[in-house]
Amino acid sequence: MIGNLKPLEILLIIAVIVLLFGAKKLPEMARSLGKSARILKSEAKAMKNDGAADAAPAADAAAPQQATAPRTIQAAPGDVTSSRPVTEPNRTAQG
C-alpha cells in the first residue's frame, strides 16, 4: 500500500500531521518515542542477559560472589535524571 503513494500524496499526509499536532509538539513526540525505544531495547537486553545468567552451570553458584552495584535503567548514556534502580519498591499514595 505504501509503495503506491506518490510524492505529492506523501507531502499532503505530512502537512496534515503537522497541522493536527502542531510544529512544537512533533520534536517532543519524536524525542519521547526515541527515549522509549532506548528503554525498551535496554530492558530486552537485560532480560536476555538474565536468561543467560540463569542457564549458567551450578559450579558458578558455589563461587563467592563479588559485591556489585545495583542495576539501573538509563534512558540515555549519562542521563542520571531519569535513571532509577531496577529493584525500586512500589510507592503508594499517602492520604
Residue 24 has what pLDDT? 82
Residue 22: pLDDT band (50, 70, 90) is confident
pTM of the model: 0.39
Residue 27: pLDDT band (50, 70, 90) is confident
Q: Where are the beta strands (DSSP E) in the chain?
A: 72-73, 84-85
Residue 57: pLDDT band (50, 70, 90) is low
**What SS3 string covers the chain?**
CHHHCCHHHHHHHHHHHHHHHCCCHHHHHHHHHHHHHHHHHHHHHHHHHHHHHHCCCHHHHHCCCCCCCCCEECCCCCCCCCCEECCCCCCCCCC
Burial (CB count within 10 angstroms: exposed 0-12, middle 13-18, buried 19+), residue 35: middle
Short-list 78, 77, 73, CA closest to 88: 73
Write out pLDDT tens, residues 58-74: 445 555 555 666 666 65
- What average pLDDT does the chain have? 74
